[in-house]
């Protein structure tokens, strides 16, 4: 049995935000949920230490348990908050930092494996710029003796390249004893989790540092660091998408979400954004500058360029959605086409229907939303306004420029526009 305690009570002052730091998103998902996803395969139980007044954090981590650290007295104090939930627990416990969300499952597995050879295992890195990370101090034999926080370190200690990533793992019986022995006589007046290393060493226990790449162990304290982490997450997602059979013509220009699903032989042109909740089936083409969110695109469809797919949309097999077309809660049947300058909201479009340029569903009357139904094989003439609720039957036609306020029976033609009047001699010259 193994437990992970994730520290996330800090407000994250350096983010300058009303939102708790760990709720800031990477690839469309709060950073804490990235960390939880990496930890779940390795730990049987996860306990998150939240701050007071962070209900959104507690909701985001559910069904995992949260405990509250009422006063922010340091990382060591925060870890202690999990103790009431772990009375009598005899397994291993790891402490992770919520602002360290890029750690992979493989690295956490190396950490717990190292813990079976040592009494305390910790993750360390050698960052290009060690900045203000805590430094891992070793003795002449290479044994880890303690971690010194940047604020408390001497010039000599600040020159150490090996930095603390903030993850430790030990038997809970040991860790909880070391945590209760912590003091706060340091520069920041905080109970440092990092001091458990010196406590272990003081008992003559073996401490082992497991090194991993900086790209995984980087902490996020500011929005500048958030952007660096976003770049790392995007790089991983793009690589995974390409390895599973999607072509990204210009990968760096495509923004993916943590849950984006791209099928085989999907081709994504430059400058496409996938917000959360998008599934794209095989052989779909997504052309430049399209934005997709919470939608399903069925096999062989063509989207864009410049298309916007909003939530609850489904584009059927082989359907076409062209430039400057916005879909919201729209279901397009197989082979349907809406190729130019159109808004389709709260609508069902039957198979092979053709939606002319400039078609608008007038779905909102200022108070309520209403539905439009367009039957299979219907032909909606250019610049038709469909005033919902309204139905256009299968194979019906609406004349260009119509304002359709009444249902159109199947197989009929609706013309709903003013008749043209030509006045001879009243052209430019006759004014």
Would you tell me which residues interact with ligand UD1 (CB under 6 A)?
7-10, 22, 49, 69, 72-75, 77-78, 97-100, 133-134, 147, 149, 163-166, 192-194, 219, 221
Judged by beta carbon distances under 5 to 8 A according to partner kind, the member of ligand UD1, Mg ion, none in contact with residue 134 is ligand UD1
Query: Rounded to the nearest whole angstrom, what is the least distance from the CB of residue 327 to Mg ion in the complex?
Result: 41
Closer CB to ligand UD1, 194 or 398, in the complex: 194
- With residue 49 as reference, give the H or E element that holds it: strand 45-50
Residue 180 CB, nearest approach to Mg ion (Å): 23
The least CB distance from residue 196 to ligand UD1, in Å, is 10
Element housing 341 (H / E): strand 337-349
Site for Mg ion, residues 86 to 125, rule: CB under 5 A: 99
Question: In terms of CB distance, is 216 or 326 closer to ligand UD1?
Answer: 216
Toward Mg ion, which CB reaches closer, 92 or 99? 99
Which of ligand UD1, Mg ion, none binds 260 (CB below 5-8 Å, type-dependent)? none
Packing angle between helix 105-115 and helix 31-39, nearest 10 degrees?
50
The smaller minimum CB distance to Mg ion, of residues 133 and 274, is found at 133
Cβ–Cβ < 8 Å for 363, 389? no
Structure tokens at 406: 């009444």
With contact defined as beta carbons under 8 Å apart, do 49 and 35 qualify? no
The bridge status of strand 385-387 relative to strand 261-262 is unpaired
Return the closest-CA partner of residue 165 out of 211, 228, 207.
211
Smallest gap, in angstroms, from Cβ of residue 113 to ligand UD1?
22
CA distance 156 to 146: 15
Whether 64 sits among the annotated catalytic residues: the reply is no
Rounded to whole angstroms, how far apart are CA atoms 259 and 279?
Answer: 8
Could you tell me which residues come within 8 angstroms of residue 322 by beta carbon, excluding any fewer than 6 positions away?
302, 304, 305, 307, 337, 338, 339, 340
Q: Which does 98 bind (CB under 5 to 8 A by kind): Mg ion, ligand UD1, none?
A: ligand UD1
Output the residue with the shortest Cβ distance to Mg ion.
Answer: 219
Smallest gap from residue 98 Cβ to Mg ion (A)? 9
Q: Which of 94, 24, 14, 84 is nearest to 54 (CA)?
A: 24
> Which 207-226 residues touch Mg ion, going by CB under 5 A?
219, 221
Please return the burial class of 422, using the count of CB atoms within 10 Å of its CB with bins 0-12, 13-18 and 19+.
exposed
Alpha helices in 127-222 (DSSP H): 155-158, 172-180, 196-202, 214-217
Cα distance between residue 356 and residue 392, in whole Å: 14
* Closer of 154 and 422 to ligand UD1 (Cβ): 154
Residue 194 · residue 124 · CB < 8 Å:
no
**32 versus 319: smaller Cβ distance to ligand UD1:** 32
Least distance CB 249 / ligand UD1 (angstroms): 36
- Identity of the residue, 11 or 253, whose beta carbon is nearer to ligand UD1 in the bound complex: 11
Is residue 190 a contact point for Mg ion (CB under 5 A)? no
- Applying CB under 5 A, the site for Mg ion has a residue count of 3
Residue 292 binding target from Mg ion, ligand UD1, none, CB below 5 to 8 Å by type: none
At 176 the three-state DSSP class reads: helix
| Residue 77, contacted partner among ligand UD1, Mg ion, none, CB below 5-8 A by kind | ligand UD1
Which single residue brings its beta carbon nearest to ligand UD1?
A: 134
Interacting positions 126-185 with Mg ion (CB under 5 A): none
Catalytic residue among 34, 64, 340, 370: 340
Q: Which does 100 bind (CB under 5 to 8 A by kind): ligand UD1, Mg ion, none?
A: ligand UD1
Question: In this structure, what are the phi and psi dihedrals at residue 34, rounded to the nearest 5 degrees?
Answer: -65, -45
Contact 290, 306 (CB under 8 A): yes
**What residues make contact with Mg ion under the rule CB under 5 A?**
99, 219, 221
Catalytic residue positions? 340
């Amino acid at each position: 049995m193994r437990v992970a305690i994730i520290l996330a009570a800090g407000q994250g002052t350096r983010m300058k935000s009303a939102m708790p730091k760990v709720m800031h998103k990477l690839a469309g998902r709060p950073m804490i949920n990235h960390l939880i996803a990496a930890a779940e395969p390795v730990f049987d139980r996860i306990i998150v230490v939240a701050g007071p007044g962070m209900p959104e954090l507690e909701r985001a981590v559910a069904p995992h348990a949260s405990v509250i650290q009422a006063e922010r007295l340091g990382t060591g104090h925060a870890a202690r908050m999990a103790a009431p939930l772990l009375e009598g627990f005899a397994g291993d416990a790891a402490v992770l930092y919520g602002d360290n969300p890029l750690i992979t499952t493989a690295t956490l597995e190396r950490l717990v494996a190292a813990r079976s050879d040592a009494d305390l295992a910790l993750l360390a890195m050698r960052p290009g710029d060690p900045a203000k990370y805590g430094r891992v101090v070793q003795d002449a034999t290479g044994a880890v003796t303690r971690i010194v926080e940047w604020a408390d370190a001497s010039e000599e200690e600040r020159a150490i390249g090996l930095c603390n990533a903030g993850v430790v793992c030990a038997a809970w019986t040991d860790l909880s004893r070391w945590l209760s022995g912590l003091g706060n006589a340091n520069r920041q007046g905080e109970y440092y989790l990092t001091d458990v290393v010196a406590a272990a060493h003081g008992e003559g226990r073996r401490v082992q540092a497991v090194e991993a790449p900086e790209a995984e162990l980087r902490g996020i304290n500011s929005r500048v660091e958030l952007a660096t982490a976003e770049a790392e997450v995007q790089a991983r997602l793009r690589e995974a998408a390409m390895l599973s059979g999607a072509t990204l013509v210009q990968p760096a220009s495509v923004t993916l979400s943590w849950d984006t699903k791209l099928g085989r032989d999907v081709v994504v042109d430059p400058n496409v954004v996938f917000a959360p909740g998008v599934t794209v089936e095989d052989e779909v083409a997504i052309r430049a500058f399209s934005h997709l969110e919470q939608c399903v695109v069925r096999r062989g469809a063509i989207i864009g360029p410049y298309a916007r797919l909003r939530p609850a949309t489904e584009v059927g097999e082989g359907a076409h959605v062209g430039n400057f077309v916005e879909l919201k809660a729209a279901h397009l049947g197989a082979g349907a086409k809406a190729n130019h300058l159109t808004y389709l909201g709260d609508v069902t479009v039957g198979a092979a229907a053709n939606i002319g340029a400039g078609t608008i569903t007038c779905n909102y009357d200022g108070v309520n939303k209403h539905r439009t139904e367009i039957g299979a094989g219907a032909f909606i003439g250019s610049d038709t306004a469909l005033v919902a609720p309204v139905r256009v039957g299968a194979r019906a036609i609406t004349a260009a420029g119509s304002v359709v306020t009444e249902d159109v029976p199947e197989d009929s033609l609706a013309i709903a526009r003013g008749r043209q009047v030509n006045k001879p001699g009243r052209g430019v010259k006759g004014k």
